[in-house]
């Protein structure tokens, strides 16, 4: 394929040009089909190993006992909620600056997955908090900022679907995503900036992780496995959305042909 | 409620949530692929 066949704007930066190669739906579908299969397989393998390791093979905590096993699902959900939102903000920048059509679709398909992951983070945190703290919920800075993050995800998912003109919905959603990114450092540092019932960071500390490797390794394996699954789901949804857009265009073209033939 | 209940509920919620996501993505993907193949049989060619 020659450079002329690219749909990139001629004056775009090299990075943007390579990204615009995938604005071609056919090229994106062919390239992502190969990645998709490997992503499903890797997610099943890594997550299967991580969950068995965390649930059955890792030791109980000296203080929390068996309840520490909730961490192997709760912490990956929290990381994905924040990491996924950062990806949403990057896609929003690409959408607003380069008008990349795939970035719009990616963001639209990402937000329901991000909302679910954040809801799971809140639910598993609540299920962990009840036996450990004696309460399902407290309005401390960490829990409240994650609840705000959940509403931002939901807001983005609703807003991008609220307009008949999908491009307009994508633009408004992108602005919301970029405004909401300010909440990510608040979630991350809330446990340092305010006095919270939620514990401070124990894995992503700058000096050293505050947990034993017997617990840390299965946690990292689960986090990697859930990240692969998250990526596989978002990619499959984006591929489906690209195909659905093509289907709509083909159906519209067919209807116009039939209308012209009938006139 | 025992601690086992909280652990089981957490894992069940996460597995159900991701299971629903995977099934929905696979269903949408398969349905779109089939319809696209019907409407545009030459579309998949490079």
pLDDT in tens, A25-35: 778 888 888 89
pLDDT value, residue A27? 82
3-class secondary structure, A65? strand
Q: Please indicate, yes or no, if residue A148 is contained in any of the structural domains.
A: yes
Q: Decide if B14 and A124 are in contact by the 8 Å CB cutoff.
A: yes
DSSP state of A22: G
pLDDT, tens digit, 9 for 90 and up, residues A232-250: 999 999 999 999 988 988 8
pLDDT value, residue A261? 83
Interchain contact A243–B (C-beta under 8 A): yes
Q: Please indicate, yes or no, if residue A243 is contained in any of the structural domains.
A: yes
CA distance linking residue A28 with residue A18, whole number of Å:
12
For A230, which residue in chain B has the nearest alpha carbon? B18
Mean pLDDT across the stretch A121-143? 92
| CA distances (Å), origin A108, targets A13, A143, A161, B36 | 25, 26, 8, 21
Q: Please indicate, yes or no, if residue A124 is contained in any of the structural domains.
A: yes
Q: Decide if A73 and B9 are in contact by the 8 Å CB cutoff.
A: no
Q: Decide if B10 and A251 are in contact by the 8 Å CB cutoff.
A: no
- pLDDT at position B11 over 60: yes
Interchain contact A222–B (C-beta under 8 A): no
ipTM: 0.89
3-class secondary structure, A12? coil
Question: Residue A65: which CATH number?
Answer: 1.20.120
CA distance linking residue A151 with residue A125, whole number of Å:
17
DSSP state of A10: T
Phi, psi of B16 (to 5 degrees): -65, -45
pLDDT, tens digit, 9 for 90 and up, residues A154-204: 999 999 999 988 889 999 999 999 999 999 999 988 888 877 777 777 666
Comparing A152 with A101, the larger pLDDT belongs to: A152
Residues of B in contact with A233 (CB under 8 A): 18, 21-22, 25
Residues of A in contact with B37 (CB under 8 A): none
Q: Please indicate, yes or no, if residue A231 is contained in any of the structural domains.
A: yes
Q: Please indicate, yes or no, if residue A2 is contained in any of the structural domains.
A: no
Of A30, A130, A239, the CB nearest to B6: A130
Measured between its terminal Cα atoms, the distance across chain A in Å is: 40
**Which residues constitute the domain of residue A102?**
15-203+212-262
Q: Please indicate, yes or no, if residue A76 is contained in any of the structural domains.
A: yes
pTM score: 0.87
Q: Please indicate, yes or no, if residue A4 is contained in any of the structural domains.
A: no
Counting the structural domains of chain A, the total is 1
Which chain B residues have any C-beta within 8 angstroms of a chain A C-beta?
A: 1, 3-4, 6-7, 9-11, 13-14, 17-18, 21-22, 25-26, 28-29, 31-33, 35-36, 39-40, 43-44, 46
Long-range contacts of B26-35 (CB under 8 A, 24+ apart): B26/A236, B28/A236, B28/A237, B28/A240, B28/A244, B29/A236, B29/A237, B29/A239, B29/A240, B29/A243, B31/A240, B32/A239, B32/A240, B32/A243, B32/A244, B32/A247, B33/A243, B35/A243, B35/A247
Nearest chain A CA: its distance from B11 CA (Å)? 7
Phi, psi of A203 (to 5 degrees): -100, -50
Mean pLDDT across chain A: 86
For A115, which residue in chain B has the nearest alpha carbon? B17
Q: Please indicate, yes or no, if residue A3 is contained in any of the structural domains.
A: no
**Contact predicate A105/A166, CB 8 Å:** no
Of the candidates A210, A176, A174, A206, the residue with the CA atom closest to the CA atom of residue A189: A206
Least confidently predicted of A13-17, A67-71, A106-110, A163-167: A13-17
In chain A, pLDDT over 90 holds for what percent of residues?
Answer: 55
Of the candidates A65, A80, A71, A81, the residue with the CA atom closest to the CA atom of residue A50: A71
């Amino acid at each position: 394929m020659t450079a002329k066949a690219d749909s990139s704007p001629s004056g775009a930066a090299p990075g943007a040009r390579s990204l615009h190669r995938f604005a071609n739906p056919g090229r994106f579908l062919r390239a992502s089909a190969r990645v998709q299969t490997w992503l499903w397989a890797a997610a099943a393998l890594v997550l299967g190993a991580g969950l068995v390791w965390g649930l059955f093979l890792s030791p109980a905590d000296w203080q929390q006992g068996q309840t520490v096993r909730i961490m192997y699902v709760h912490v990956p959900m929290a990381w994905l909620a924040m990491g996924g939102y950062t990806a949403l903000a990057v896609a929003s920048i690409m959408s607003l600056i380069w008008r990349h059509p795939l970035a719009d679709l990616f963001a639209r398909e990402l937000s329901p997955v991000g909302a679910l992951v954040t809801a799971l983070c809140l639910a598993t945190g609540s299920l962990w908090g009840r036996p450990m703290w004696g309460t399902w919920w407290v309005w401390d800075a960490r829990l409240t900022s994650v609840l705000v993050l959940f509403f931002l995800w939901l807001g983005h998912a609703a807003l991008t679907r609220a307009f008949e003109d999908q491009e307009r919905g994508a633009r408004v959603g992108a602005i919301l995503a970029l405004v909401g990114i300010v909440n990510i450092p608040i979630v991350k540092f809330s446990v340092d900036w305010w006095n919270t019932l939620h514990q401070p960071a124990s894995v992503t500390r700058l000096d050293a992780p505050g947990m034993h490797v017997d617990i840390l390794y299965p946690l990292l394996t689960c986090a990697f496995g859930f990240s692969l699954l998250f990526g596989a789901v978002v990619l499959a949804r984006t591929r489906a959305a690209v195909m659905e857009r093509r289907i709509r265009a083909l159906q519209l073209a067919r209807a116009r042909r039939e209308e012209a033939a009938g006139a | 409620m025992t601690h086992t209940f909280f652990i089981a509920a957490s894992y069940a919620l996460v597995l159900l949530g991701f299971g629903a996501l995977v099934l929905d993505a696979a269903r949408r993907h398969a349905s779109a692929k089939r319809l696209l193949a019907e409407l545009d049989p030459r579309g998949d060619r490079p």
